[in-house]
Structure formats: structure tokens, C-alpha cells
Amino acid sequence: MDLRDYIRVLRRNWLIVIGCVGLALGSATVLIARETPTYTSTIRMFVSTPQAQEGVAYQGGLFSQQRVISYADLVIGEQIAEAVIAELDLALTARELEDQLTSRVVPETVIFEISVTNTSAELAQQIADAVGVEFTALVADLESPEPGVAAPIKVTTVDPADLATVPASPRPLRNLALAGVLGLLAGVGIALLRDLLDVTVKDVDRLSERVGASTLGIIGYDNDADEDPVPVRTKPQSPHAEAFRQLRTNLQFVDIDQDTKTFVITSSLPAEGKTRTSVNLAIALAQAGERVILVEADLRRPRVNRYLNLLDDVGVTTVLLGRVSVDEALQQYGDLPLRVLACGRQPPNPSELLSSERMQLLLRELRERADVIIIDAPPLLPVTDAAVLARQADGAILVVRHGKVTYDQVDRAVENLRLAGARLLGTLVNGTPAKGRDAYAYNYAYQSTGRRARPTKSDRPAVSAATSTSVNGSIDEASERIEHTRDGLPHKSRR
């Protein structure tokens, strides 16, 4: 990963970073508010040898430096603590007072410091001064060779304890700054770890390298996708409609030598947006003047008729069963050169129907009636229908849901296409966040200000009552008959 990759990861996970910083600052604020302020008073002690002779002054200095280390340890002891408690009449034990004392030797000097930390600034000052007095007396007793003889070493208080006016702990600014830095580091670490452990598709370049096919389009996330699945028709000036038109443009460079192009739109898993892509792409192609036929080949969970407000009792299954002709089953959508072959009655054996010879003959007939055929197929991983259809078509376009499907699942889907002998023409990344989409596609600033258009009665096809009634026979009986019939499709009429 280079610097741009790290920046991209942080931009994608900025909420985690901000959350960690906020959590750290909040926790630090609570701890600061609950912590009792403590104050520290410090005295400085000087160790010397009161020798008058100049010749022994140097040796006395070395002796003092050796002694000062021992004194720093001796001052924090039970004897000094008990003496101070008795002097000040403190309601403390010797162990509790020892915990309030610290000592530090100033390097390469004969000076050491004694600090006292207490919740009361006045009491800390009094204890520090009392420690200095008691320790000076203790050293004099310990170093005197015999009573009445001056000690060869002397400890003197050079800086008495001052009254602390600022608490030694807590220090809000320092603690908050430290908490903010720790929270930031934790947030960055979690963001990078999450990116390393996240195996869902979120990088378009990595996806293209992985599947060995280019990305034909990027569709941004749409909050209104369920309520308004056809933005190309209802909101033609929206960024989502423009993204589908960009996909339409890119498809013009696929198989440019073919007079009629047949594309299978599929995905790895359900709910990745393949049907919405099929419908909007078909409308976008029709708006450009292409004669388009949209085929609903997802016989298990058909949605095209619901998105386009079409009849669903006549379609692929009724044609395959010989109930109606192709022209009778095709439904005109609005005033566009777009006709739709819906699913029809849902069969119990969709895989057998889609892999039959009659399905191949149906696709051949559709090629004679359109410039572009869009086939909405089932997902690749749950069933094999899409791979079979893609082999009969010019190729497949794989819809990949941003942040939902993993790279391994995409690999398995592409492998299913390869094993079936089908071509992967490219991928379409669907549901990308706005910031992630900016790096790969144009982000249009204008939006449609008009009210959303809704399907009108003119958008619905006029299907005869006789045709609709003829479909209501037993589909199971006809499905059984198709297994023994390989003589081709009936042709009642041709345009």
C-alpha cells in the first residue's frame, strides 16, 4: 500500500477514526471529573562534609555523593514516617505516609529532592517541611561516632517546601491531548486492520485485475432504489440515470462487429441490483434509438414486470410451452422502441426450461426482432441458469454490489461462467458511496427538480383476454411435454 491507499482507507473509515478519538476524549473527561485533585510540595536537601582543611575537601565531596544515594532511599522509611506522624499528629499509618513520599537524586550532585503528594496543598507543605527537619536530625544521629561529637557529614534544607497552587494531578489539557493522540492512533489502527480483514469488493481497480475484465460502469448508492427503481425514466437528469447512460455508451464498444448483441445481466448473489440494471440499461438503449428486447429469464424471482408495471401471466414460459407466439408474448413499453418478454407463469423446473433447445430457438427469434437483447438472469452462485444463458448469448455482464459480495464469491461466479464456456464481457459495480465513486466516474451536480414520473396506462401493453386466459392451463403438464419435444418453436406470425 502506498500513501494514496492509506488516505483512501482513512477516508472510507473516517467515522471509525472520529469515533475512537471521541471515545478517548469522553473517557478521559469522565476520569478527570471523577479524579480527586492532588498537590505536590518539594524540598531540596544538600549533603556536605564540614571539613576546614583544604586537602580533604575533594575526598569529602566524593564521600557526600556516595552518601546522598543512600539518604534518598533512607528518607522513605518507617522511622521518618512515624516521626512525622507524631510531630504533626496525622491520622495516617506509616505505610500510608510512605506512599505519599518520593525522593530523587539530582545527577552528579550532592542534592536530593523530597516530594510529598496529598489531596491538601497545606498538608503536603507541612509534611514536606516536617520530613526535612526529621531527616536532618536522623542523619546527625546516625553519622555521629559518639554522643557529643560532631558528625562528619551534614544534611541541610536549602529549598523549603512551597504551597502548591496548581494541582499536580489531574492535568486536564495534558490528559485530554494524550487521550486524543491515543484515540487517533487507535482509530487509524482499527481502520487499517478493518481494511485488511475486509474481503468485500470495494476497489474497482482490484476487481478488474481479479476477474480479468474491465469495469463497464459504476452506479452510486441510491436511497430511493426500492421506491423508484427506474431513474432513467423517472429522473433522467439524476446522477444515477447518467451512470446507466454511461454504461450504455461503454456497451457500444463490446462486440462491435455483431449486428445484434445479446447481453446476460447477472450477479454472484441475490440483491446485488441485476434486475434494476437490466431495466434501466434497456430503457437507456431504447432512448438512444436502439430496438431493444428485455427478457425476464429469472424464472424463480421475477421482478421486471413489477418494475415496469407489466402483465406477468404471459412471457418466457408460455412461449417455451407453445401457448403463444413470440410476437404475442412481447409487450410494448411506453412509446420507446422497447419490448419486454416477461417471465410468465413460474415453472417448477426453470433450469430445464432455460437449458432446452426451445430456449435457444427463442433467442434466435429474438435476434431477428431487435438490435440489442438484454436478458435478466438469476445469480450465478445459487443456480446455474445464468451460466447456461450466457453461453447462448454474446456474453455476461456481472453486477457486483459494493461492500456486500466478497472477492472469493466473485471468483467463484466468474469460474462458473468459464466452466460453462461463457464470456465475461465486464463488470458493473453497484451501490458505491459518493466519495468512492468520485475516483472513477463523473459526479454530476445537477438533479431533476420535477416530480417523479409514474407509469401511466399507456405504458402497459394491451394483451388480449384470450391470450391471458390461455396461459392458465397446467404448466406442469406442459413442462413435462417439453422434455419430449425438440421440434422448435411454433410461429404463428412474424413481423
Q: Is 488 a domain residue?
A: no
In terms of domains, do 43 and 29 share one? no
Q: Is 219 a domain residue?
A: yes
Distance, C-alpha 469 to centroid of its chain: 51
Task: Confirm if 360 and 394 have CB atoms less than 8 A apart.
Answer: no
In terms of domains, do 27 and 113 share one? no
Q: Is 165 a domain residue?
A: no
How far is the C-alpha of 429 from the C-alpha of 215, rounded, in Å?
7
In terms of domains, do 117 and 225 share one? no
CATH number assigned to the domain comprising residue 435 = 3.40.50.300
In terms of domains, do 182 and 117 share one? no
The DSSP code sequence of 208-233 is: HHHHTS-EEEEEE--TTTTT---HHH
Helix (H, G, I), strand (E, B) or coil at 154: strand
pLDDT at 458 (0 to 100): 41
Answer whether residue 467 shows pLDDT above 60.
no
Rg (CA), the chain: 42
Q: Which of 26 and 458 is assigned the larger pLDDT?
A: 26
How far is the C-alpha of 264 from the C-alpha of 424, rounded, in Å?
10
Residue 120 makes CB contacts below 8 A (sequence gap 6+) with 39
What average pLDDT does the chain have?
83
In terms of domains, do 366 and 454 share one? yes
In terms of domains, do 187 and 231 share one? no
Average pLDDT over residues 69-97: 88
CATH number assigned to the domain comprising residue 150 = 3.30.70.1130
- Range of lowest pLDDT (261-265, 303-307, 400-404, 472-476): 472-476
* Local confidence band at 141 (pLDDT 50, 70, 90 cut-offs): confident
Beta bridge partners of 79: none
Answer whether residue 436 shows pLDDT above 60.
no
pLDDT at 147 (0 to 100): 67
Q: CA–CA distance from 358 to each of 149, 257, 316, 322 (Å)?
A: 124, 26, 11, 10
Average pLDDT over residues 165-189: 92
In terms of domains, do 325 and 425 share one? yes
Q: CA–CA distance from 191 to each of 18, 106, 197, 314, 408 (Å)?
A: 11, 45, 10, 51, 22
Q: Which of 125 and 3 is assigned the larger pLDDT?
A: 125
Task: Confirm if 369 and 337 have CB atoms less than 8 A apart.
Answer: no
Provide the 8-state DSSP code for 459: G
How far is the C-alpha of 136 from the C-alpha of 74, rounded, in Å?
12
How far is the C-alpha of 442 from the C-alpha of 242, rounded, in Å?
9
* Local confidence band at 258 (pLDDT 50, 70, 90 cut-offs): low
Burial (Cβ within 10 Å: 0-12, 13-18, ≥19) of residue 307: buried
Q: Is 15 a domain residue?
A: yes
Average pLDDT over residues 211-222: 92
pLDDT at 434 (0 to 100): 72
In terms of domains, do 140 and 215 share one? no
- Range of lowest pLDDT (52-66, 145-159, 337-351, 381-395): 52-66
Answer whether residue 60 shows pLDDT above 70.
no
Average pLDDT over residues 461-484: 43
pTM strictly above 0.75: no
Task: Confirm if 23 and 134 have CB atoms less than 8 A apart.
Answer: no
Q: Which of 84 and 144 is assigned the larger pLDDT?
A: 84
How far is the C-alpha of 479 from the C-alpha of 356, rounded, in Å?
11
Q: What is the dihedral of CA 264, 268, 273, 277, to 10 degrees?
A: -20
In terms of domains, do 235 and 278 share one? yes
Domain count, the chain: 3
Q: Is 44 a domain residue?
A: yes
How far is the C-alpha of 274 from the C-alpha of 269, rounded, in Å?
10
Sequence-ordered alpha helix ranges (H) in 35-101: 57-74, 78-88, 94-99
State the residue range of the domain holding 142: 39-159
In terms of domains, do 319 and 226 share one? yes
How far is the C-alpha of 441 from the C-alpha of 136, rounded, in Å?
80
Average pLDDT over residues 294-319: 92
Q: Is 323 a domain residue?
A: yes
Average pLDDT over residues 138-156: 77
Task: Confirm if 404 and 429 have CB atoms less than 8 A apart.
Answer: no
Q: Which of 387 and 1 is assigned the larger pLDDT?
A: 387
Q: Is 231 a domain residue?
A: yes
pLDDT at 77 (0 to 100): 86
In terms of domains, do 456 and 384 share one? yes
Distance, C-alpha 219 to centroid of its chain: 18
* Local confidence band at 489 (pLDDT 50, 70, 90 cut-offs): very low
pLDDT at 56 (0 to 100): 53
Q: Is 362 a domain residue?
A: yes
Q: Which of 156 and 437 is assigned the larger pLDDT?
A: 156
Would strands 424-432 and 215-220 be described as parallel, antiparallel, or unpaired?
Answer: parallel
Q: What share of the chain is helix, strand, coil (3-state, %, to 5)?
A: 45, 15, 40
Q: At what angle do helices 78-88 and 121-143 cross, to 10 degrees?
A: 130
In terms of domains, do 15 and 116 share one? no
